[in-house]
A and B are shown apart, each in its own frame.
Chain A
Amino acid sequence: MNVRLLLILLFGLSTLAGGAMGETQNDALLAQLSARSQAIQSLEGKFQQQKTIAVLPVPLNSNGRFSFEQGKEVVWETLVPVQSRLTLTPGGISFADAKGEQKTPAQAQQAGAEIVAKIFMGVIAGELDSLQDYFTLSATGTASDWQIQLVPRSANLSAYITRIELRGGQYTEHLDIAEANGDKTYIVFTTDKVVPKTAAQAQP
């Protein structure tokens, strides 16, 4: 495949010359939040998702559970109205439907989904550093009441995603995604159980 075409098709790719990490004072807040999510060993909870689709009068509601284990996996399990379980690991993604059947997306689609998954994993696990690859991050508020705006760095990613917003206190409580096609997704997290890293894990 032609290299230039390859770069375009991997729509997440941008031409950012040197990461250009944010230079404002909210760096301190981002660093603090990043350190805090790094200190978590595992976390689990429930989510409520509302999706509004541009032409549909009614929003699509769903809910389920999520869990996250530092450096290992993120599980996103939708329970209502359809059952599905999505597992993201650094090695890849797997998706199982209600009957527990593994659905392997067509290989080509997987490549696209992997980038979406990487962004998703970064949001859930609070891996702010990996999000920096795709978005410009800006944080406002305090460590106990904060919000982070994610704006795509590249025009190619902006063709799909307009903006992502994360809000929270101790943990992430809200995730709002605005897509370029007009669809919006609002997710509310309720964190049930948090296991902090032990001293040994914190210092590898």
Chain B
Amino acid sequence: MTQGTVVQERKKLNRIYALVWLLVLCACAIFCAREVTTAKPFHSNLLELLPRDERNPVLHELSVLLASRFQDKLLVLVRSDDPAQGIEQARDLQARLLASSRLAAVQPGEGLQQELLDLYRPFSQQLLSAHSRAQLQSHSPAELADGAYRELFNPVAAPRPFGFAEDPFNLGGQWLTSFVPQLKMQEYQGFPLVEADSQRWLLVTARLNDSPFDVAVQQDVTGAVQAFRAHWPQAQLLTSGMIFHAAAGTEQATNEINTVGLGSTIGIIALVLLVFRRITPLVAVMLTMTSAYMLALTVSLLVFGRIHIITLAFGSTLLGVAGDYVLHFLVGSQREGSGLAARHHLRYAMAIGALTGMGAYLLQFATPFPGLQQMAVFCSAGIFGAWMTVLALAPYYKVTPATQHMPLIAAGWFFRIGQGFYRPFWAHRRWVGAALVVLLAVALLAIVRGGVNDAVINLNTSPKALLSSEQQVQQILQQPSVSQFFYIEADSPEQLLVRAQQLNERLAGLNQDGLRWQSLAQYLPSAAQQTADRQLVADKLYGEQGALALLCQKLGTQCQPPTLNQQILTPAAFDASALAELLPPMQEQGSGWRTLVTVSGHIQSGSLGAVANQVEGVTLVNQTDDLSQLLGRYRTSVSELLAVTLLLLAIGLTLRYRHHSWRMLVPLMLAMTVALGVAAVEGITLFHVMALLLVIGIGLDTAVFYTEGGFTPESWLASSLACGTSILAFGLLSLSAVPVLHQFGLIILVGILGCWLLTPLFFRPAAQPGSAPVFQPAPPAAES
């Protein structure tokens, strides 16, 4: 084979490769466009970002079910100290909300009351409220007869759903009214009017026909609420419901994507134009970034189906990282004189860079946080896309002799600034060493003082005002807490109900004002309880000298006791009723049964925990604490991972660079420590530690550049460009109001800034700048 045919073969291969790449990109573009328009794959469900509770899947399932009831509706309280005035606002708000086809009115269950009566009617003489049971136990038949007699003349007695013949002592009425919450709530012109802390609120509700994470529903709801606020600027609203948090999350993330995406794009364009002063490199940069983003989106959609908006926001920083490859390539092309030569020259460097970068991101894939897994896949695919694009485009990137030297002029000019900056430092090595030791000490002190922070609030994406509004609504309406509840396990439904009943009694025994709870056992007593209550009723009320005989004497008439049902209201019958879906669920799992008891109002974890310990099979679940502990555990394991990575890195570098390896490790470690010290002000979180893994990947590139080439115009320019674009992207991310993004951004910003500025301190150039690798002994900063 001649030289010519080899070149021809190469060209053909290049063309085929470029064509394949183009086809893949087009396919990606079509796929993304179709997915985005039809499947609406973007969502803002925070729960899907959190790890599953690996210790108890059933508990996880139940708590998701609990949370889902919070998801499909929205509650708005309209301040109405004068209901006549508030009602207009409430009506207007409801009309605006219901104007959307994605929202429906909450039916308070027309006819459901009747269904409730039908369910309980056959068992009315064996279902006793705690109050009526206590009455029956503590009073004589004569006293009970007297009370019932008086009650007949009481104009505001509890309603008598079942009539005298079936239920002479109105046990059914008492049973049903015992469910009525202790809320000061009444109806006002079709709206519930709630009174709390001498403030009055009208409740406007709506049910979502779609998921609250659907952007279209979010737009309808926020649009309606905004229009309402514009129309009633003086109105005071409190909102509750996942939809408001989801909408806030979407808005937040959209802003982040716009800021980070736009900011880093403009910055990169400016940098590229400044250095290369031509359009072609800019086109190459933009093309690489677009392809990287497109491939990242496609792969993520294929792997996950749905993508969280925060992933997209974090993914925007990919623009900066993807830019690195093409920048290295462009600088190389200028030097080598052609894209093809640069590709050949850089092939190993790029492969190693891309693979380690992808590796750093994929380490996050090993964590059980679905959110981080998404970011990992998104960014790895993006880096792969950028790498492949550079390889595909390289043969078509031409450098004309006229333009070849321009960036080198820029590099020379920039190099002089760098030299001027570092010369005094290089000259005073001891002082620099001492200063770095002080810096290290300060950073370590900050880390020790700052401590760790595993608060769940780190996962939050909602603004403070929204959270406080949510809390107020929960408090006013006594909504069950989603984060704290009792979890009951038993071998059979009967045992489950018995335990739930025991828990009820203990909770009642606490006598805590403002504590409320909702348990299945309040609506469905155990078979044992029903049998015992039926016996109590038979003895006290319907015996020969029972209360009924005495009552009928007073009434001057003969009367027959009602026939007692020999059946029991069973869980199966109860489960079939419409009431069951409104109550805490009861689930069979393997050989056991599980249920939840929700609590609301004023919750004191300490006393609830003590109560849980008193009843077998009952645990108090504190999701916030559990999640916080989980975050802490992952923080520890990721820290260990980080330590192992650094150790392996040190071994690897020592094997390759021998005694010069400390020169690469020291600035990196120093930069990481400083970054952690800065972050420690708000307490070190899991996400800070994870971000450090990324700093290793990006920061090491810088050191490798200098070690291989010394402090030269090219290495200083390439390192500054690569670090500059990342600093820009992550710097903007560090301004994010979303804690996770802010924490990632801050660590990477400070880390890379540190690597960029500190590394040259350790590479004092030889007498002639730009000459071969310079391994001059520099001040042993960390060791001095």
Interface on A for B, CB 8 Å cutoff?
A: 1-19, 49, 51, 53-58, 60, 62, 76, 78, 81-82, 84, 86, 88, 93, 95, 97, 106-109, 111-118, 120, 132-134, 154-156, 159-160, 179-183
Which of B149, B150, B158, B582 is in CB contact (< 8 Å) with A2? B582
Contact residues, B186-221 vs A (CB, 8 A): 186-190, 192, 203, 205
- Are the C-beta atoms of A160 and B159 separated by less than 8 Å? yes
Q: List 5 A-B contacts (CB under 8 A).
A: A8-B112, A14-B190, A55-B559, A86-B155, A109-B158
The answer to whether A93 and B156 touch (CB under 8 A), given A6-B183, A9-B179, A108-B179, is yes
Nearest CB in chain A to that of B558: its residue: A57
Cβ of B73 within 8 Å of any chain A Cβ, yes or no, is yes
Closest 5 A/B residue pairs (Cβ)? A7-B108, A181-B163, A112-B177, A55-B165, A156-B113
Residues of A contacting B69 with CB < 8 Å?
A: 2
Q: Are A56 and B559 in contact (CB under 8 A)?
A: yes
Known interface pairs A15-B190, A19-B190; A113-B160 also in contact (CB < 8 Å): no
Given A8-B109, A56-B557, A58-B557, decide whether A17 and B190 contact each other with a Cβ distance below 8 A.
Answer: yes
Stretch in B477-485, B615-623, B642-650, B719-727 with 4+ CB within 8 Å of A? B477-485
B583 interface contact, C-beta 8 A: yes
* Cβ of B458 under 8 Å from chain A: no
B156 contacts A133, C-beta separation under 8 Å: no
Contact (Cβ within 8 A) A55 B113: no
A8 touches B108 (CB 8 A): yes
We find that the number of chain B residues with CB closer than 8 angstroms to chain A is 67
Q: Which residue of A lies closest to B182 (CB)?
A: A107
| B300 located at the interface, meaning its Cβ lies under 8 Å from any Cβ of chain A in the complex | no
B577-602 at interface with A (beta carbon < 8 Å): 579, 582-583, 600
- Known A2-B582, A56-B164; judge A84-B159 contact (CB<8 A): no
B174 touches A181 (CB 8 A): no
Find out whether the CB atom of B559 lies under 8 angstroms from the CB atom of A109. Answer: no
A1, A81, A154, A181: the one within 8 Å of B110 (CB): A154
Q: Are A133 and B189 in contact (CB under 8 A)?
A: yes
Contact between B557 and A156 (Cβ–Cβ < 8 Å)? no
Q: CB-CB < 8 A to B149: which residues of A?
A: 82
Min CB–CB distance B380 → chain A (angstroms): 44
- A54 to B153 Cα, complex, angstroms: 15
Scan B319-353; emit 1 where CB is below 8 A from any A CB, else 0.
Answer: 00000000000000000000000000000000000
Q: What residues of chain A lie closer than 8 Å to B156, measured between beta carbons?
A: 86, 88, 93, 95, 113, 116-117, 120
Whole-angstrom distance between the alpha carbons of A155 and B116 in the complex? 12
* Distance to closest chain B CB from A182 (angstroms): 6
Known: A1-B479, A17-B190, A108-B178. A78 touches B163 (CB 8 A): no
Q: Point out the residues of chain B lying under 8 angstroms from A56, CB to CB.
A: 164, 555, 557, 559
Q: Assess whether A1 is in contact with B190, with CB atoms less than 8 Å apart.
A: no
Most buried by B among A86, A134, A160: A160
For residue A7, which residues in chain B have a CB less than 8 angstroms away from its CB? Answer: 106, 108-109, 192
Find chain A residues with CB under 8 A from B604 CB: none
What CA separation (Å) do A3 and B712 show in the bound complex?
70
Contact of B181 among A6, A16, A18, A133 (CB under 8 A): A6
Whether the pair A18, B91 counts as a contact (CB closer than 8 A) is: yes
Min CB–CB distance B696 → chain A (angstroms): 50
Q: Does B152 lie at the interface of the complex (its beta carbon under 8 Å from any beta carbon of A)?
A: yes
With contacts A11-B113, A107-B182, A113-B158 known, is A58 near B131, CB below 8 A?
A: no
- Expressed in whole angstroms, the minimum distance between the Cβ of A38 and any Cβ of chain B is 15
B234 at the interface (CB under 8 A from A): no
Q: A9-B181, A160-B159 given as contacts; is B110 within 8 A of A15 (CB)?
A: yes
B107 at the interface (CB under 8 A from A): yes
CB atoms of A111 and B162 under 8 A apart: no
Residue contact A1 to B559, C-beta cutoff 8 Å: no
Asked whether, in the complex, the Cβ of A108 is within 8 Å of the Cβ of B159, the reply is: no
B183 and A4 within 8 A (CB): no
Chain A residues whose C-beta falls within 8 Å of the C-beta of B186 in the assembled complex: 10, 12, 114-115, 118
Contact A13 B557 (CB under 8 A): no
Partner of A54 from B107, B163, B479, B582 at Cβ < 8 Å: B163
Residues of chain B whose beta carbon lies under 8 Å from any beta carbon of chain A: 69, 73, 75, 91, 105-114, 116-117, 129, 131, 149-150, 152-165, 174, 176-190, 192, 203, 205, 477-480, 516, 518, 555-557, 559, 579, 582-583, 600
Residue in contact with A1 in the complex, picked from B111, B154, B203, B480, CB distance below 8 Å: B480
Name the distance in Å between A77's Cβ and chain B's nearest Cβ: 11
Q: Which residues of A contact B181 (CB under 8 A)?
A: 1, 6, 9, 108, 111
Q: How far is the CA of A120 from the CA of B105 in the complex (A)?
A: 30
List B contacts of A51 (CB < 8 A). 152-153
Picked from B108, B154, B192, B480, the residue with its CB within 8 Å of the CB of A95 is B154
Least CB distance from B582 to A in Å reads: 4
Question: Chain B residues near A9 (CB, 8 Å)?
Answer: 176, 179-181
Contacts of B112 in A (CB 8 A): 8, 156
Report the bound CA distance from A11 to B116 in whole Å: 11
Residues of A within 8 A of B480 (CB): 1-2
- B479: A residues at CB distance < 8 A: 1, 3
Q: A5-B583, A51-B152 are in contact. Are A179 and B187 (CB under 8 A)?
A: no
A13 touches B600 (CB 8 A): no
Residues of B within 8 A of A54 (CB): 163-165
A59 to chain B, nearest CB (A): 10
Closest Cβ–Cβ distance, residue B502 to chain A (whole Å): 20
**Given A93-B156, A133-B188, A156-B112, 6 further pairs, Cβ under 8 A:** A2-B480, A2-B583, A10-B187, A55-B163, A57-B557, A76-B155
Bound-state Cα–Cα, A54 to B559, Å? 12
Q: Which of B105, B161, B477, B478 contacts A160 (CB 8 A)?
A: B161
Chain A residues within 8 Å of B111, by CB:
155-156
A53→B169 CA distance, assembly (Å): 13
The listed residue (A16, A132, A183) touching B163 by CB distance below 8 A is A183
Say which residue of B105, B179, B192, B556 sits within 8 Å of A58 (CB atoms): B556
Nearest chain-A residue to B556 (Cβ)?
A58
Q: Is the CB of B582 within 8 A of A4?
A: yes
Complex CA–CA separation, A11 to B205 (angstroms): 17
Note all chain A residues with C-beta closer than 8 A to B110. 15, 154-156
Interface hub of B117, B174, B516, B582 (most chain A Cβ within 10 A): B582
| Residues of A close to B177: CB separation below 8 A | 108-109, 111-113
Bound-state CA distance A9–B579 (Å) is 11
In the complex the two chains form, what is the Cα distance from A174 to B478 in whole Å? 41
Most chain-B Cβ atoms within 10 A of its Cβ — which of A9, A53, A156? A9
| Nearest-CB residue, chain B, relative to A107 | B182
A77 to B480, alpha carbons, bound, how many Å?
Answer: 41
Q: Are B192 and A13 in contact (CB under 8 A)?
A: yes
Whether A13 and B106, one on each chain, are in contact in the complex, defined by CB atoms closer than 8 angstroms, is no
**By the criterion CB–CB under 8 Å, are A183 and B160 in contact?**
yes
A97 to B162, CA, bound (A): 26
- CB contacts (< 8 Å) of B150 on chain A: these are 82, 84, 97
Is there an interface contact between A1 and B153, defined as CB atoms closer than 8 Å? no
**A2–B581 Cα gap in the complex (Å)?**
10
List, in ascending order, chain B residues with CB within 8 A of A155's CB.
Answer: 110-111, 113-114
Most buried by B among A15, A108, A154: A108
A60/B152 contact (C-beta < 8 A), A8-B108, A108-B180 known: yes
Residues of chain A lying within 8 A (CB to CB) of residue B107: 4, 15
Name the residue among A54, A62, A106, A183 with the largest chain B CB count within 10 angstroms: A106
Closest residue of chain A to B205 (Cβ to Cβ) is A3
Q: Are B165 and A13 in contact (CB under 8 A)?
A: no
The CA-CA distance from A188 to B559 in the complex, in Å, is 28
For the complex, give the distance between the alpha carbons of A60 and B552 in Å: 12
- Determine the distance from Cα of A131 to Cα of B205 in the docked complex, in whole angstroms: 23
Q: Are B582 and A5 in contact (CB under 8 A)?
A: yes
Chain B proximity of A94: nearest CB distance (Å): 11
Q: For B583, list chain A residues within 8 Å (CB).
A: 2, 5
Which of B154, B176, B185 is in CB contact (< 8 Å) with A6?
B185
A14 to B189, CA, bound (A): 9
By a CB distance below 8 angstroms, the chain B residues around A78 are: 153-155
Cα of A8 to Cα of B164 in the assembled complex, Å? 24
